Structure 1
């Protein structure tokens, strides 16, 4: 049986952190540890963790409040077992997750990464839907094909790697608020190899308003920066992978068009929330970003009926009526995609 480290960065994770930790400690795999990287929590997170008195739990404290990027970066510095996995404090593992990963390593000892199926859950733990399955052997080109065509659910929970490989590449990339950092991390670790996948749904990924990665209108500047960091990463990455390069040439322009389209919607909605028309400089910033990445796609943004409707509402005294429509659309997208 292999040994595993489950690494949990957290800041004020109560009450979800309790369910997360209990799910980890309930693993049927006997050889694992839980490394908690607390980031100056002021709620019940640390007192409850201390009350566990469980030798499998190692608690590390931050001497000062850290950004999410710097908090997760600490995973490189801590001593770890042979294999490791990262988990968000509001996610959870099924009891057989690590045991199934161990069996997957037996079947694919040469793989670079290991993953099981997952499900999306809401704030109270109700299943929204299962995440899309991926090939049993997924190459970087296949990963990019799914990602750039919106046929993959990208989560940080449920993926296991060799600790030495994680440390060798410097850990998770320091992208803005970690947007798209998971993509870059998995691709970096898969380089020259593949990810082995077991279809059993053994992880729960929670989607709720407080989640760091949840898309909110005000998050569009950070998303734009992270998107462009990812774009730079991809362009560099495919230079040494012909199959991945072919996928990017074919799919990246439309991926960027769709993502900038959504970011413009978020920017419009942020202006509606604040009760004013969108700043022309904001629109120019988004259009300039798309022009740099996919010039032929720039004109298509304002042809979107959704955008045209929100632009009309944003320019009118009824701009705040756009917000309920967005919430309905967001919920529909979460269930349907």
Structure 2
């Protein structure tokens, strides 16, 4: 019986997507299926999937571009099995990925989310360490490095203090994700919003430390002027304030206070200030300072 729906919302680099697909095809067992939802128009992609002729792979191309959040929700609509993974189209599963999450699902069958161990890589596929990832490891992630089951206000507060999860590597219980879906008014922080919905609903996160997934960061993305317009931080600020009000009503006072402060998000804006000056000039610098200080 198939249990794992591996979903690949795709847009962009063809070669990296093909590597991601090959990493899924290297998984063992017969309890999984790969579903690729193409939100782009790169030539040759449908033909490449047709040539795979692999019954474990489904391929769809959207008639119109749905955008990131829209394509996430389209993927969730197509999920039919007990668990799903919304894998990044440039990330890589290690051959042991499903073995790790299978074991975690057996150990914690009621968990709505499973976060396995992750290695961060760069555009070239080599290990890539950034300030963001060092901060996740040293300040925000759980200090107990063994398997654990987390939830409630304590986990909500920890993630609002600093989101140490790697969204594309998470294995989700499909029923729980379908219950909420991704907020269509969010384009950057929709993953954390879904996690908050689940925690407020009483769901839990299973953490297992064994590394089985490579999450790709692209250094060149930092040079995009659009990253410094302030849009993503305005969205984040709105989310944190709304979440603070929600948690106050729930009685999670400490988590609400942390969300209202959203210190890690503001500090992140400060770390981007030099690049904002370089790539977006005064507009970028103003956007970073506005988020960091207000």
SS at match of 1:95: coil
- Residue in structure 2 matched with residue 259 of structure 1 by the alignment: 265
Residue 141 of structure 1 pairs with residue 141 of structure 2: no
Change in CA separation of 1:51 and 1:240 when aligned onto 2, cut-off 3 Å: farther
Residue 227 of structure 1 pairs with residue 206 of structure 2: no
- Residue in structure 2 matched with residue 283 of structure 1 by the alignment: 286
| Structure with larger RCO (C-alpha < 8 A, sep 6+) | 2
- Residue in structure 1 matched with residue 254 of structure 2 by the alignment: 246
Residue 159 of structure 1 pairs with residue 165 of structure 2: no
CA distance, structure 2, for counterparts of residue 161 and residue 175 of structure 1: 22
Equivalent residues of 2:240, 2:262 under 8 A apart: no
- Residue in structure 2 matched with residue 86 of structure 1 by the alignment: 86
- Residue in structure 1 matched with residue 116 of structure 2 by the alignment: 116
Length-normalised TM-score, structure 1:
0.72
265-274 vs 2-11, which moves further = 265-274
Q: What are structure 2's unaligned runs of at least 5 residues? A: none
Residue 201 of structure 1 pairs with residue 211 of structure 2: yes
Change in CA separation of 1:175 and 1:120 when aligned onto 2, cut-off 3 Å: farther
CA offset at residue 268 of structure 1? 6.9
Q: How many residue pairs were aligned?
A: 280
Residue 172 of structure 1 pairs with residue 203 of structure 2: no
Provide, for residues 267-309 of structure 1, a one-character-per-residue CA deviation record: whole Å limited to 9, x for no partner. Answer: 77445435x6449xx838963x67xxxxxx64xxxxxxxxxxx
CA offset at residue 241 of structure 1? 4.3
CA distance, structure 2, for counterparts of residue 215 and residue 116 of structure 1: 30
Change in CA separation of 1:44 and 1:16 when aligned onto 2, cut-off 3 Å: farther
CA distance, structure 2, for counterparts of residue 27 and residue 255 of structure 1: 38
Change in CA separation of 1:215 and 1:239 when aligned onto 2, cut-off 3 Å: farther
Change in CA separation of 1:110 and 1:269 when aligned onto 2, cut-off 3 Å: closer
CA distance, structure 2, for counterparts of residue 125 and residue 231 of structure 1: 33
SS at match of 2:58: strand
**1:1-337 alignment, distance < 5 Å:** 3-129=3-129, 132=137, 134=142, 136-150=148-162, 152-169=163-180, 171-177=181-187, 179-190=188-199, 191-209=201-219, 216-220=224-228, 221-239=230-248, 241-242=250-251, 244-249=252-257, 251-252=258-259, 254-256=261-263, 258-260=264-266, 262-263=268-269, 266=272, 269-270=275-276, 272-273=278-279, 277-278=282-283, 283=286, 287=290, 298=294
Coordinate RMSD, CA, aligned: 3.0
Change in CA separation of 1:277 and 1:187 when aligned onto 2, cut-off 3 Å: closer
Change in CA separation of 1:278 and 1:123 when aligned onto 2, cut-off 3 Å: closer
Provide, for residues 38-68 of structure 1, a one-character-per-residue CA deviation record: whole Å limited to 9, x for no partner. Answer: 0133144433222211011111111122322
